[in-house]
Amino acid sequence: MPDAFVRTYPAALDALLRSPGSNVAKQLARFGTQVETQAKQNASGRPGPNVDTGNLRASIGWRVEVHEEVELYVGFGAYYGRYLELGWTTQTGRFVQYPFMRPAIESLGGQIGDFS
């Protein structure tokens, strides 16, 4: 039986795994879209935060970045989103929390990284 010989092309393999058009990036984009959709639903009234202007929902989005690794970032731009997600203490000492991002990520099987 002849020996098998496999030649790898590191540049081609690197492009396959890390280019914006790669299957890895496409899968991350699909996941990002699903998380965005679910988070927007979660941020649309009870049990989540009430909607006044729709600014929080409009600020929810995602992006794929390719550096040494392909990374997906999902988040929001509204400054008060962090207070709603993680809770905050009012002058009365009450803790109010309306998470919308974490449940969206977890419900789709994702793991939460740094939430800072």
Three-state DSSP state, 41: helix
Output the pTM of the full model: 0.72
Query: Average of pLDDT values for 85-93?
Result: 70
Give the whole-angstrom CA distance, residue 85 versus residue 99: 4
In a domain, 53, yes or no: yes
Q: What is the pLDDT of residue 1?
A: 44
Q: Which helix (H) or strand (E) holds 87?
A: none
In a domain, 3, yes or no: no
Alpha carbon separation from 94 to 37, 87, 90, 91, 97 (Å, rounded): 30, 10, 6, 8, 10
Name the residue with higher pLDDT: 42 or 5: 42
Radius of gyration of the chain (CA): 20
In a domain, 40, yes or no: yes
Structural domains in the chain (count): 1
In a domain, 64, yes or no: yes
36 pLDDT higher than 70:
yes
Q: Which of 12-16, 30-34, 44-48, 95-99 has the lowest mean pLDDT?
A: 12-16
Contact criterion met (CB below 8 Å) for 98 and 48: yes
In a domain, 116, yes or no: no
In a domain, 114, yes or no: no
Q: What is the pLDDT of residue 27?
A: 85
**Domain that residue 48 falls in:** 10-107
In a domain, 97, yes or no: yes
16 pLDDT higher than 90:
no
